Amino acid sequence: MQFRATGTGNSAQVPCFGCQCAACRRARERPEHRRAPCGAEIHIAGQRYLIDAGRLDLVETCEFQRPAAFLMTHYHADHAQGLMRLRWGVGPSIPVYGPRDENGFDGLFAKPGLLDIKEGLEPFQLLQFDDGLSVTPVPLNHSLPAIGYCLEGSSRRLAYLTDTQELPVETHRFLMSWQPDIIILDATLPPNASSANHNTVPQALAIIERLAPTEAWLTHLSHEVDALAMQGSLPLPDGVGLAYDGLLLDV
């Protein structure tokens, strides 16, 4: 199984509109430093699963390979907006799994088109697909109902945890027992920032230290975090890196 980050930015993305910081200037000049809306894809047994759907080029990428299903973390626009165009397509329906949310995104649940919106996933209940993909949803702390996904690969376990501010006690307890080899974790904000919805980098690092994976990547990153890293003002422990669009991991 392969995991690929399709986007690692926050809702402003990188470059941020109108910003002239060093990170945004670099991203305009060098596309490899751009950060699209946070999301990922999983490739297993010839199938492609998408975690979230915030990219505005979603339809174009899905025409190359139709997704087997979407695994939604939550329904904020930067994670769900691509579904609004995709739903009016034609052909076989595409299952959409996600948290229990009465409202969804901008009427998506009322008029899903070709999307087959499944009932909300039960936290900590294993979801298994015929091609061998096994995922366990875990609750996260966010302003909308949100879940992370724990992926059971053939050789390693990966926990994808965005968007969140700290972790719910029950999620932390589950992860301590489950013992992921890889953690990909929300670290939207620079040190000394504050938010009820997203981790700062130090908060993310403290979570990683407690869970002690062999490999960790920070995601949902803002241009402020990139700017600090460029200045050399964002030291990271061994085994922890800033995720980037296109990051590919074997699981």
Angstrom distances, CA of residue 89 to CA of 5, 94, 109, 128: 25, 10, 16, 27
**How many CA atoms lie within 13 Å of 233's alpha carbon, on the beta-carbon side?**
8
pLDDT in tens, 65-121: 999 999 999 999 999 999 999 999 999 999 999 999 988 899 999 999 999 999 899
Least Cα distance to 125 among 147, 104, 142 occurs for 147
Give residue 207's identity as a one-letter amino acid code. I
Name the strands in the sheet holding 157-161, side by side, starting at the edge strand that comes first in the sequence. 127-128, 134-139, 147-152, 157-161, 182-186, 215-219, 240-242
pLDDT in tens, 2-30: 999 999 999 999 999 999 999 999 999 99
Instruction: Name all domains of the chain by residue range, CATH numbers in brackets.
Output: 2-250 (3.60.15.10)
Least Cα distance to 81 among 107, 118, 63, 99 occurs for 107
For residues 156 and 162, give the distance between their C-alpha atoms in angstroms, rounded to a whole number.
19
With contact defined as beta carbons under 8 Å apart, do 28 and 20 qualify?
no
At which residue do the structure tokens 């990153």 appear?
A: 221
pTM exceeds 0.95 for this model? yes
What pLDDT was estimated at residue 180? 98
Per cent of the chain over pLDDT 70 is 100
With contact defined as beta carbons under 8 Å apart, do 129 and 186 qualify?
no
Please report the beta strands in the chain, taking only residues with DSSP state E, as ranges in sequence order: 2-7, 39-44, 47-51, 69-71, 94-97, 115-117, 127-128, 134-139, 147-152, 157-161, 182-186, 215-219, 240-242, 248-250
DSSP-derived 3-state class of residue 92: coil
